[in-house]
Structure 1
């Protein structure tokens, strides 16, 4: 175990987090939000002080292995969440530190679950920081570090870090060097974010609203700066957000293939077809089901349903209507979409479309083997064979996912809320969605839960964002041995 390198990487990440707080501090100065400014200055000084630890010792061996990669990613996400919560707490805008942790973990994990009951009362600087945590956490803080600072040359080191933080059952390289892959990913990420900002500005949305909304959309997080989420914006602006939520739920490899003009590979991509097919099917079914609630106006119904389905399936969490009031058939579809999630390699959450696709293909293979016991067949996705190790990994993921969901539900059930509230709260946090149903619906929040439940749900958010196993590694004593 390379403890010096792990600590060094965490210090580097905290240094970057401190730098990313500067724009929020500038906004606090311009808006004369002095309590918030004090909070940002204190947080930056604290992170700067901790990051100086990296200069107190020499890292002789910069290579790390799989175990170290898991521990580095898990500890880094906990560290950025704890320090990122300081501005909320020191400013006094969120007096309870556990609430601050919940809000910040929700931000970095792009969940969008909130304990703030009056969002519009928050200072502009904190609203900016709150949305920016989505953007930074969307692609991953380690990926961001690797994209801007080539601090490690070992190929295996980069693989272990990317594997621990990137969503999906496997990591694909877009370039010969993983450092270049990280740059490509963030280049696409920044470009799409800038395009959305410009389109929203052209559509009449104010600059601050455009920036914060685009940050939350890009990270598929869903922190809004209005109490009614996106309901108060124009249909055009809502439509733009609908499209970009769906785009950020797509595997970023697809955008790279488009840049290379490899259109045939894009059209043949089975995960993309499943993702878009499921989204379109859900929109059609729910629109049919909710037509009476929209006075039988198919255009209005389809507009709001498309926004909601795109928001839920990509695990963004924005809302234009209170889908908690929709029929049970529609709400059931939305809960299924919460679990289903977006594509691997995107900023979305959920179990990912590729895992569902692999499970379908394996079920089909098993049925064939029952009919022809001696037959030998392999699972193929996009013409490539899927290793049995990946298939077993999908099964392991779903098994642990189910166990964590049940355990979390039992623990927060102590608060004695309805099953609809408790179950969807767990699913919404574990799948990094944000809004659930009943008390945690799109027009509610998580302030009603006890401190213990908020900590459990915060842990669920981290577990879900890091795809379970990196966080579980922290609880394995053998992982800490030299």
Structure 2
């Protein structure tokens, strides 16, 4: 039997936390006199009030959270966060359509970065900051944050952490799950602060530096400028963005081990080594034709290519150049980057390097098994044997991911959108990237879609952010059967 009252209490705690996180934007509203402090205050009050009602109404409930409750809490939390997170947009009138508000909020919380806004710079400063904050909240996951700083909930944190954390790995920094979550957030916050400082030194205003650092570390891609990062055509700023997008796409446990001097643990990670190698090779391979077939100088061609490759591969979605203008061949290659993703345990979306690596290694071993059918050839990652259960899980994930992409593209095509736009929109929303190809390229946005399509793509974004199974398992009859 599912403990619904316990779930309601936790939803209350999450809503109170969400309301608190709306408050910093009020300071920017007063400082810049942008006139949006009242909508933020009202939205924060409504979120905290509803959260308090749920939390204290069920404060004495048993908080024994099992796997089923864990997955249900994670799925519902993103729905609740989206519904209450859109209040500042609706109350302030910056977004008047409900489907548009849902799309923009889900895009923020899932760190997709796709937008329906045509003039971002016209938004009030407080609302614009909240828009960036939604991505920072969703970056490492609101559930991980809650497990880290909300022990008063008294829940079994491991179930939430497993359901929320991306990727098939289960590396932990500390045997206690709450300590693991805390240390991940220390890394996350620390890198964000450093990123703010470097952006500011590079010439960004303090306000823009904060906003861009929040969305960089979240691999979200929301910008305070209509031209995204192309507005800052400054080598220092763009190289800082490349570095921190790359770090945000790295497994945070690997970053932590590097910071504490455990470099043997860093280089033990096969995924991290593959990540570094593949990113470097792709940048070099694509920078050469960009330089040869454009009028850009060597440094500019390298910088633009490196920026777009890292931005798309880590699912950040910042833009400094129109990569669809490089020719059909390179456009296809950039499109394929939407299906890569960063490392497991990072803030990026997508399929993740660990799955690609496992699939590639297992394919190579299959050839060996064909030649030597009686040989026992185990698959190893980081020196450890990968069980058949994990391999099956990864193969199923890849197949379902492909099916969702194909079926989603068919749905958009049925509703009258051209093939390139359908492929691009579903691929970028499923991978939580932002820009794609077709009419949703790097210079476009999603405002032209009809309301149903925006809601459908919002669901696709949630599927991608929670790695398919967390959402799809709720549609299985086995999930709801009493045990």
* Aligned residue number for residue 440 of structure 2: 440
* Aligned residue number for residue 82 of structure 2: 81
* Aligned residue number for residue 21 of structure 1: 22
* Aligned residue number for residue 215 of structure 1: 214
Question: What is the rounded CA distance, in whole Å, between the counterparts of 1:293 and 1:117 in structure 2?
Answer: 31
| 1:436 Cα deviation from its structure 2 partner | 0.6
* Aligned residue number for residue 199 of structure 1: 198
* Aligned residue number for residue 472 of structure 1: 472
| 1:8 Cα deviation from its structure 2 partner | 1.1
1:326-368 Cα deviation digits (max 9, x unpaired):
1122122212211011000000111000000100111122111
* Aligned residue number for residue 269 of structure 1: 269
| 1:390 Cα deviation from its structure 2 partner | 1.1
1:372-427 Cα deviation digits (max 9, x unpaired):
11112221111111122111110111121122112211111134232111101100
* Aligned residue number for residue 68 of structure 2: 67
Aligned residues: 479
* Aligned residue number for residue 451 of structure 2: 451
| 1:180 Cα deviation from its structure 2 partner | 0.1
Question: What is the rounded CA distance, in whole Å, between the counterparts of 1:136 and 1:410 in structure 2?
Answer: 32
Where in structure 1 are there 5+ consecutive unaligned residues?
none
Is structure 2 residue 55 aligned with structure 1 residue 54?
Answer: yes
* Aligned residue number for residue 303 of structure 1: 303
Question: What is the rounded CA distance, in whole Å, between the counterparts of 2:296 and 2:475 in structure 1?
Answer: 53
Contact 1:412–1:422 at 8 Å: present in 2 too?
yes
Question: What is the rounded CA distance, in whole Å, between the counterparts of 1:85 and 1:381 in structure 2?
Answer: 42
* Aligned residue number for residue 112 of structure 1: 113
Question: What is the rounded CA distance, in whole Å, between the counterparts of 1:369 and 1:80 in structure 2?
Answer: 48
Q: 1:370 to 1:243 in 2, by over 3 A?
A: same
1:333-372 → structure 2 map (5 Å cutoff): 333-372=333-372
Question: What is the rounded CA distance, in whole Å, between the counterparts of 2:219 and 2:179 in structure 1?
Answer: 24
Contact 2:16–2:49 at 8 Å: present in 1 too?
no
Residue range with higher mean Cα deviation, 123-132 or 329-338 = 329-338
Question: What is the rounded CA distance, in whole Å, between the counterparts of 2:260 and 2:121 in structure 1?
Answer: 43
Question: What is the rounded CA distance, in whole Å, between the counterparts of 2:293 and 2:126 in structure 1?
Answer: 38
Contact 2:324–2:330 at 8 Å: present in 1 too?
no
1:171-227 Cα deviation digits (max 9, x unpaired):
221102000000000000001000111111122211001000000100000001111
* Aligned residue number for residue 4 of structure 2: 3
Where in structure 2 are there 5+ consecutive unaligned residues?
none
Report the 3-state secondary structure (helix = DSSP H, G, I; strand = E; otherwise coil) of the residue aligned with 1:146.
helix
| 1:3 Cα deviation from its structure 2 partner | 1.2
Question: What is the rounded CA distance, in whole Å, between the counterparts of 1:387 and 1:149 in structure 2?
Answer: 34
Report the 3-state secondary structure (helix = DSSP H, G, I; strand = E; otherwise coil) of the residue aligned with 2:229.
coil
The root-mean-square deviation of aligned C-alpha atoms, in Å, is: 1.5
| 1:296 Cα deviation from its structure 2 partner | 5.1
1:36-435 → structure 2 map (5 Å cutoff): 36-51=36-51, 52-151=53-152, 157-233=156-232, 234-295=234-295, 297-435=297-435
Residue range with higher mean Cα deviation, 195-204 or 264-273 = 264-273
1:283-308 Cα deviation digits (max 9, x unpaired):
11211121245415221100111111
Question: What is the rounded CA distance, in whole Å, between the counterparts of 1:467 and 1:59 in structure 2?
Answer: 33
Contact 1:248–1:347 at 8 Å: present in 2 too?
yes
Question: What is the rounded CA distance, in whole Å, between the counterparts of 1:412 and 1:63 in structure 2?
Answer: 42
